[in-house]
Amino acid sequence: MNKWIDLDDQAVAISRALAMDAVQKVGNGHPGTAMALAPVAYTLFQRILRHNPVKPDWISRDRFILSCGHSSLTLYIQLFLSGYGVELEDLKNFRTFNSLTPGHPEYGHTLGVETTTGPLGQGVANGVGMAMAARYEKGLLDPDNTTDIFDHNIWVLCSDGDLQEGVSAEASSLAGTQALGNLKVIYDDNRISIEGDTHVAFTENVSARYKSYGWEVIEVVAKKDGNVDREKLEKALIKAAAHNSSPVLIRLQTVIAWPAPNASGTAKSHGSALGIEEIAQTKKILGIDPKESFFAPSNVISHTRQVKERGAKQFADWEIKFAKWQSLNPEQAALLNRLLKKQLPTNWAKDLPIFSQDKEVSTRAASGKVIQALAERLPEFWGGSADLAESNNTTIEGGKSFLPSSSKMADANPYGRVIHFGIREHAMGAILNGAALHGLVKPFAGTFLVFSDYMRGAVRLSALMQLPVTFVWTHDSIGLGEDGPTHQPVEHLAALRAIPGLELVRPADANEVSVCWKNIIERAKPTGLVLSRQNLPVLDRSKYAAATNAVKGAYVVAYGDELSKQCDVLLIATGSEVSIALQAREVLAEKNVKARVISIPCFEWFFEQSPAYQEEVMPRKIKARVSIEAGVSQPWYKIIGDYGIAISLEHFGASASASVLFKEFGFTAENVVAAATESIKRANG
């Protein structure tokens, strides 16, 4: 490793000054942490990380996650110094519209940003997901450990706030159980948050907590003047990189906003510009002319961008090994090539199950059958549940438990296909996001729909980043029965449909499940698959429209008049309620009322269809409409209009069997018939 020289000291000083200048120019932001962490981030990017700014998508690069995303300048400045395409002008445009430097790092927006961070704790959990995915992918590509070309580290920089959030505790506990030796977390222990000294709320022994999780813990105290002890830090980083039997926490003591004479160590420096006078005094201490703004001399930039040369050499050395591996492992090389191209195997869906109408099947059970078929054809398909595998039907049979080689548990395998997340829904969601971000896997995991609330922060970020993650949510309504209102989701379908970019899928029967799973895999978007606990009729497709129509989001299951296609009322339902609508159609037919039944497994897919198709399914001239869904009616009014009636649940459920609850709360054919009659009356004035 090159000797640390004066130009490195200048680069760190410039990093601190740029953080102050960027926040001062825009008038808002978080300068203090970026100032304190400048030597940390600089040492990582310049001396520790294996990365190549010219090849930012190199599969074997180390990943860097800034979990404390409010300190985005910590990352942006290093991307500038390293030559990732962020330039001085971008730093001047910090936190402004359409800039490469938004307030928090955004995945897919700025080169070098590995994940969107900001909601505290998410980045730590993303890091756990990336580390888990790296190990699983190693098993796909090099199960006999013949090469180190797929070995790399996941580095996370986090704050007091990150470690106060429960999601980081959930994820860190699992990381210890998983013995993730490729995960390195640097904890910025500065004891400052918005409300001041963190000891007003956070007094635990973090080191002891992480040791109890099974982590290696290294402590680095600050120098007497408050500055980071950079030499000791670098030794700690090197030691952490070499430690591969467990995750590592480097507890780093810092002073926020160091070396500002008045602002350092204060809560104000956390989230406010320091002011012109304080910046000027600080620049003097740093050896920078106070009159200079956004000072970045060419000799320093030329020096820091030599990291490209280091990265290019690392990449070239890796390519030689990679070529050798390809020649010796043609099957795995072909798999890697397919995964990198985001392609699916030929005829991958040919064995997806088709279900007979001879017996009723819950959609969760149907999904379990589909998962087995997917796993047979897609080695990248990988997941589990939050301690609910048997209930969610998310276990890949024969897939072995994803656990480290040191585990004493039965069926343990470091490259296993069944992830045991434990009862940690929020971490599970964020870990899935991290796994998807790592690049080669299609992750999924399940819990009950009612607990989607526990993971909503992660689900929202999955939608924001448009990650190919499938959230399997079973026990989708009051149909779960005797467990009662604490476990019966009422508002959840509406709340999840409100998340932009999330595709919520609620199939009507087993064959819709199979068709929808196929579409989910092909679309590779963040998706919630909502499934029933109770058995549902498997629709007779010789009598009703083919389930393959489900890929359009909504389709006509049965017309009011099969010959003329005319109808008096639209009965629109999802999930278990579609069969109720079909029963009501038969009763209405006896009354000479033509009712068209529409299954709408996914609003989002349907609204993507052409206006002509939407009109074909739901003609605007038919004003009489009834929606049937065992949840709140809020999202339905866009579809049913002024004359429609929503059969919904505007209150919490109760503890009783599914059949009793559906009857008590009006989810019956008789009630649908009454609503249809009333809607026709309204529409006809």
Catalytic residue positions, numbered:
425
Residue of 112, 115, 101, 134 lying closest to 54 (CA atoms):
112
Structure tokens at 387: 């301690």
Contacts of 64 (CB under 8 A, 6+ apart): 44, 45, 49, 51, 75, 114, 155, 156, 157
Which run of H or of E encompasses 123?
helix 122-141
Contacts of 111 (CB under 8 A, 6+ apart): 56, 79, 84, 85, 86
264: exposed, middle or buried (C-beta count within 10 Å: 0-12, 13-18, 19+)? buried
**Cβ atoms of 399 and 377 closer than 8 Å:** no
Taking the C-alpha atoms of residue 352 and residue 510, their distance in angstroms, rounded to an integer, is 11
What is the C-alpha radius of gyration for the chain, rounded to an integer number of angstroms? 28
Contacts of 308 (CB under 8 A, 6+ apart): 52, 53, 54, 82, 83
Strand order in the sheet with 418-420: 412-413, 401-402, 418-420, 381-385, 442-448, 470-474, 527-530, 503-505
Contacts of 496 (CB under 8 A, 6+ apart): 452, 459, 502, 504, 528
Residue of 663, 88, 139, 131 lying closest to 379 (CA atoms):
139
Task: Write down the residue that tokens 């299609």 correspond to.
Answer: 442
Q: How far separated are the first and last CA of the chain, in Å rounded?
A: 83
**Cβ atoms of 201 and 163 closer than 8 Å:** no
Q: 412 forms bridges with which residues in the sheet?
A: 401
Contacts of 347 (CB under 8 A, 6+ apart): none
Taking the C-alpha atoms of residue 516 and residue 512, their distance in angstroms, rounded to an integer, is 6
Structure tokens at 410: 């039965």
Structure tokens at 409: 């548990």
